């Protein structure tokens, strides 16, 4: 069901990977209530057997905050990715909110734990910091290693960067790395245009915001990313890993905006991040939902994707069925599994980190004292009683 992890776990930004006959999920780690902001916890690793996607287990604390160099209190260990390297070891890539470099941890097992390995570096061995290496996504393809990063802010340059070189490129960017999994061979290359440079590209209205997630499917290079809309995950396709990407469509919105022409959110919504994975011949998109009336208390969800007659992915609908696709029509389910929470008290705009909407609208909630999970602030609406 959605969420696919226990209700007291908040693992957003999930990158699903299949290693050694199991599905592994790597994500950042919010905490119940969101009082400490985005990604305040350690990196965790959860996995499930491919023949039973309801049987997730916690494999390890993958990498602890205390082991991240130069991490300060209040900094966020943001969305990671994990790949199997050229040497057969497993590499966890991540960037923090207040640092520019892309950091790497290494393990001999996909389940972790991971130990610190270093930073993505130039050929002279110095850490690469020309741009902020946000939300790294990595693809290992036929002996080549590709790294994709980026954060594109639409609109005017923020005041603090006026007259200075911004740490953010106008597009998402890509690099090729050496077999050591950290030394840049070539790049940066522009990949997906941001909102300020999308005119005439085919990405208008769905330009790059963050969350690069690369895959190779049927000899095509597929880039999943969070668009300028923030609530939706889109995808683009190319014949080459570092150029030529064309916009293809929306995979999912965490409030179903755009699904079958829908213009009203079915859930309180905010940013989105996730990845594609094929399991037993079917493709699934992993994403996250917001809880607690705030954007930084997110839970991992997943939906099966349908492929149309042209071979393109269609936008999936948010459901509580999740990886199973269905809900058993018997027994009692906790209301916190609700993935369609609509109310006249929920506005049409996005949640954010400083949101106080938990005081005014229904939301999924974990009681800090009893640890019970339920929908809080259900009340009479102006349209009648429920």
Say if residue 163 is exposed, middle or buried (CB neighbours under 10 Å; 0-12, 13-18, 19+): exposed
**Residue pLDDT tens, the chain, 386 long:** 999 999 999 999 999 999 999 999 999 999 999 999 999 999 999 999 999 999 999 999 999 999 999 999 889 999 999 999 999 999 999 999 999 999 999 999 999 999 999 999 999 999 999 999 999 999 999 999 999 999 998 777 666 666 677 889 999 999 999 999 999 999 999 999 999 999 999 999 999 999 999 999 999 999 999 999 999 999 999 999 999 999 999 999 999 999 999 999 999 999 999 999 999 999 999 999 999 999 999 999 999 999 999 999 999 999 999 999 888 888 999 999 999 998 888 889 999 888 778 888 999 999 999 999 999 998 765 554 43
pLDDT at 385: 43
pLDDT at 386: 39
pLDDT digits (tens, 9 = 90+) for 168-177: 999 999 999 9
pLDDT at 161: 66
Q: What's the token pair of residue 374? A: 């339920």
> Annotated active-site positions, please?
13, 210
Task: For each of the domains in the chain, give its residue range(s) and CATH number, in order of start.
Answer: 15-376 (2.115.10.20)
Cα angle for residues 133, 135, 139 (degrees, 5° grid): 95
* Residues 300 and 288: beta-carbon distance below 8 Å: yes
* Residues 341 and 362: beta-carbon distance below 8 Å: yes
* Residues 319 and 2: beta-carbon distance below 8 Å: yes
The C-alpha atoms of residue 128 and residue 133 are separated, in whole angstroms, by: 9
* Residues 273 and 253: beta-carbon distance below 8 Å: no
For 311, other C-beta atoms within 10 Å of its C-beta total 8
Strand, helix or coil at 363?
Answer: strand
Three-state SS for 196-257 is HHCCCCCCCCCCEEEEEEEEEECCEEEEEEEECCCCEEEEEEECECCECCEEEEEEEECCCC
* Residues 121 and 99: beta-carbon distance below 8 Å: no
* Residues 5 and 46: beta-carbon distance below 8 Å: yes
- Closest by CA to 171, choosing from 158, 187, 159, is 187
pTM value surpassing 0.85: yes
Cα angle for residues 317, 346, 250 (degrees, 5° grid): 30
pLDDT at 375: 96
pLDDT at 381: 58
Q: Which residues pair with 257 in a beta bridge?
A: none
Q: Which residues contact 212 (CB under 8 A, 6 or more apart)?
A: 135, 136, 137, 148, 149, 150, 172, 191, 192, 223, 224, 225
Length of the chain: 386
């Amino acid at each position: 069901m959605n969420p696919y992890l226990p209700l007291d776990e908040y693992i957003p930004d999930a990158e699903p990977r299949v290693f050694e006959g199991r599905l592994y999920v790597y994500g950042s780690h919010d905490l119940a209530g969101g009082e400490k902001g985005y990604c305040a916890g350690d990196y965790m690793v959860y996995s499930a057997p491919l023949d039973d996607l309801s049987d997730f287990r916690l494999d390890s604390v993958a990498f602890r905050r205390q082991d991240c160099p130069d991490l300060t209190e209040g900094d966020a260990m943001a969305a990671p990715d994990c790949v199997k390297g050229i040497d057969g070891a497993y590499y966890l890539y991540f960037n923090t909110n207040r640092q520019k470099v892309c950091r790497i941890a290494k393990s001999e097992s996909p389940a972790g734990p991971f130990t610190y390995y270093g930073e993505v570096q130039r050929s002279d061995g110095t850490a690469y910091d020309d741009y902020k290496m946000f939300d790294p996504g990595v693809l290992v393809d036929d002996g080549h290693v590709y790294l994709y990063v980026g954060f594109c802010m639409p609109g005017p340059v923020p005041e603090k960067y006026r007259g200075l070189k911004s740490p953010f490129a106008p597009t998402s960017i890509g690099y090729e790395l050496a077999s050591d999994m950290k030394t840049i061979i070539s790049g940066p290359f522009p990949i997906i245009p941001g909102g300020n440079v999308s005119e005439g590209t085919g990405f208008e209205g769905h330009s790059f915001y963050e969350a690069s997630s690369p895959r190779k499917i049927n000899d095509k290079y597929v880039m999943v990313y969070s668009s300028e809309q923030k609530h939706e995950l889109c995808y683009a396709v190319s014949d080459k890993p570092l150029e030529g990407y064309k916009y293809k469509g929306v995979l999912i919105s965490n409030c179903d905006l755009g699904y079958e022409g829908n213009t009203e959110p079915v859930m309180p919504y905010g940013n989105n991040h996730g990845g594609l994975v094929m399991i037993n011949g079917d493709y699934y998109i992993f994403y996250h939902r917001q809880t607690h009336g705030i954007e930084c208390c997110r839970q991992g969800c997943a939906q099966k994707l349908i492929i149309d007659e042209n071979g393109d992915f269609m936008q999936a609908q948010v459901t509580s069925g999740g990886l199973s696709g269905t809900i058993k029509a018997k027994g009692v389910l906790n209301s916190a599994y609700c993935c369609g929470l609509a109310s006249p008290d929920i506005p049409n705009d996005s949640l954010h980190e400083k949101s106080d909407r938990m005081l005014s609208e229904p939301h999924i909630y974990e009681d800090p004292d009893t640890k019970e999970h339920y929908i809080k602030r259900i009340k009479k609406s102006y349209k009648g009683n429920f």
